[in-house]
A and B are shown apart, each in its own frame.
Chain A
Amino acid sequence: MAKPGHLTLRNIRKQYTVNGNAFTVLDGVSLDIAPGEFVSIVGHSGCGKSTLLRLVMGLDGEYEGEILLDGHRLRGTSLDRGIVFQEHRLFPWLSVTDNIGLALQNSPLTKAERRDAIQQHVELVGLQGFEKAWPNQLSGGMSQRVAIARALVNRPEILLLDEPFGALDALNRAKLQAELQRIWQVEGITMILVTHDVEEAIFLGDRVVVMEPRPGRIKRIVPVATPHPRVRNDCNLLQVRESVLEEFREETIETISNAA
């Protein structure tokens, strides 16, 4: 039998109401994600990427279409799915360990097991020595690592990441991308990464989903065949990058000619 955790999105449509007017954020989004796969989603900001992740996470239940996990419709949130928000959303009044421990409030682990799990995940994201620190004593990159540890500590089957490295400088970002790749290989879980950084999407993803805005739709899905672990200047990756960037170039030309 196949591993569980098969995610299916069928014809998702989502509307928001602003000042009494409904506008469509997502339209006709369909996607199949196999267990253990790494899927990247790229698109301009505002094209509904965060909204899509919120739907998959179960934070928002008002949409049309179906989101199925192993054939069953999603209802609400679950500890089997973890999320790293765009902003780290750590609680400022809790130390690093307590922030991670918060995720285990409703886990079946014993107290000792919890302590071990927390320590293990602090090490996984390389934050030994900062266990007692408060969030506002951490740099942006460190906060994001804590958020990743907090999302992983429940050992979810699926991890959703919403532009987790968006606010970081280039050096830190490259480092954390490499670490995320390592964690993904070690843990063997499904990851869905939302980003507006094409290079990041290609470096990490088995497939890259290119979205277009107004309303948010899937424009193209680009497979990236290069095996993991990858190196950044792999020739195949560079080729895929050219082809994805081409999609955005067309879009820009379209927008400009539409505006004219």
Chain B
Amino acid sequence: MSIAADTTTLARQVLVTKTAQRPWTGRLLRRSGSWSLGLTLPLLLPLAILGAWQSASTWHWISPQILPAPAVVWGTLVDLTASGDITTNLGISALRVLYGFLIGGIAGLVLGLAMGLSPTVRAYLYPTFNAISLVPALGWIPLLMMFVGIGETLKIIIIAKATLVPIAIAAVQGIRNIPENYFEVGSVFRFSRWQVVRYIVLPAAVPSLFNGVRQGLNHAWLALVVVELLASSEGIGYLMVWGRQLFQLDVVIATMIVIGAVGLLLDQGLQFAESRLLRWRRSAY
């Protein structure tokens, strides 16, 4: 082992010297990992975009009807927040996502676990499930509108369906991809069916399930925007439609920023939860 390790280190050293001898590209590469540049670089592009946007409005390259100045958008964002328009509508939207996500998430989990654990359930349900999941949420909207109208039910069903599909698929695949080896270990220790599920299936499927939940939340948020754009009189998506109809692009862009910020928050939150929950995946090297 020690000999092998030595040769690898030696090889590394040779390579490192080689890169060091290379002209400036190598050095710049390593320096870009340093603190100051590491923090500055990501800010350059947004600043450039902002600069271009500002100049476009300062020198009237583009009509403010089509692209309002950054300051105007910022002002609108502040105004809409102060007047409560954003918070109220965001609250309504958040509630819709929450209900739809909970209903769809739980249903998807139950369905996915059932299909993953039982070949019989899978044989009966999977083809139909697959067919239903193939039609995008957008396809179901007109049909559902005729059954349940354009009220709250429609929105929650659409969001729930958008959540259900990725979570159920993740559960099925997570379970089916568990190595047969693990089940043999369970049988060596004489695990009951329940113990197999509790100590092998669930923990082994967690990474896949987490992916499913992340995707589910992502799709839920996407579906919310779709239904609110299409049929709504309140909610963050509606705010956007309203701005568009009045040709107030500052409102549209301000709402886009809010939608992006919420999406970012959700994503980061889940990433954090994942890294906490799946600490065992972090390896030593």
Interface residues of A (CB under 8 A from B): 57, 59, 76-79, 82-83, 85, 87, 89, 91-95, 102-103, 105-106, 134-138, 154, 169, 171-172
- Enumerate 28 A-B pairs (CB-CB under 8 Å) in ascending A order: A57-B188, A59-B188, A77-B190, A79-B189, A79-B190, A82-B188, A85-B181, A87-B181, A89-B182, A89-B184, A89-B185, A91-B185, A91-B199, A92-B280, A92-B281, A93-B280, A94-B280, A102-B189, A103-B189, A105-B191, A106-B192, A134-B279, A134-B282, A135-B280, A137-B283, A154-B189, A169-B1, A172-B1
* B195 interface residue (CB < 8 Å to A): yes
Report whether A136 and B189 are in contact in the complex, using a CB–CB cutoff of 8 Å.
Answer: no
Closest B-chain residue to A172, C-beta based?
B1
Residues of A within 8 A of B1 (CB): 169, 171-172
Please name the 9 residue pairs, one residue from A and one from B, whose CB atoms are nearest each other, closest first: A137-B284, A169-B1, A136-B283, A134-B280, A93-B203, A93-B280, A106-B190, A103-B189, A77-B187
Alpha-carbon distance between A102 and B188 when the two chains are bound, in angstroms: 11
List B residues 57-92 near A (Cβ within 8 Å). Answer: none
Report whether B203 and A91 are in contact in the complex, using a CB–CB cutoff of 8 Å.
Answer: yes
Q: Summarize B's interface: helix, strand, loop or mixed.
A: helix
Residues of B within 8 A of A94 (CB): 203, 280
Report whether A105 and B195 are in contact in the complex, using a CB–CB cutoff of 8 Å.
Answer: yes
Report whether B199 and A105 are in contact in the complex, using a CB–CB cutoff of 8 Å.
Answer: yes
Residues of A within 8 A of B181 (CB): 85, 87, 89
Residues of B within 8 A of A89 (CB): 181-182, 184-185
Report whether A59 and B184 are in contact in the complex, using a CB–CB cutoff of 8 Å.
Answer: yes
Interface residues of B (CB under 8 A from A): 1, 4, 181-182, 184-185, 187-192, 195, 199-200, 203-204, 206, 278-284
Closest B-chain residue to A135, C-beta based?
B280
Report whether A136 and B280 are in contact in the complex, using a CB–CB cutoff of 8 Å.
Answer: yes
Q: Summarize A's interface: helix, strand, loop or mixed.
A: loop
Alpha-carbon distance between A78 and B188 when the two chains are bound, in angstroms: 7
Residues of B within 8 A of A172 (CB): 1
Closest B-chain residue to A99, C-beta based?
B185
Report whether A105 and B189 are in contact in the complex, using a CB–CB cutoff of 8 Å.
Answer: yes
Residues of B within 8 A of A169 (CB): 1, 4
Alpha-carbon distance between A21 and B187 when the two chains are bound, in angstroms: 28
Residues of B within 8 A of A87 (CB): 181
Closest A-chain residue to B192, C-beta based?
A106
Residues of B within 8 A of A154 (CB): 189
Residues of B within 8 A of A91 (CB): 182, 185, 199-200, 203-204
| A59-B184, A85-B181, A137-B283 known; A102+B199 contact, CB < 8 A | yes
Alpha-carbon distance between A105 and B226 when the two chains are bound, in angstroms: 49
Alpha-carbon distance between A50 and B25 when the two chains are bound, in angstroms: 53
Contact partner of A93 (CB less than 8 A), chosen from B4, B185, B195, B204, is B204
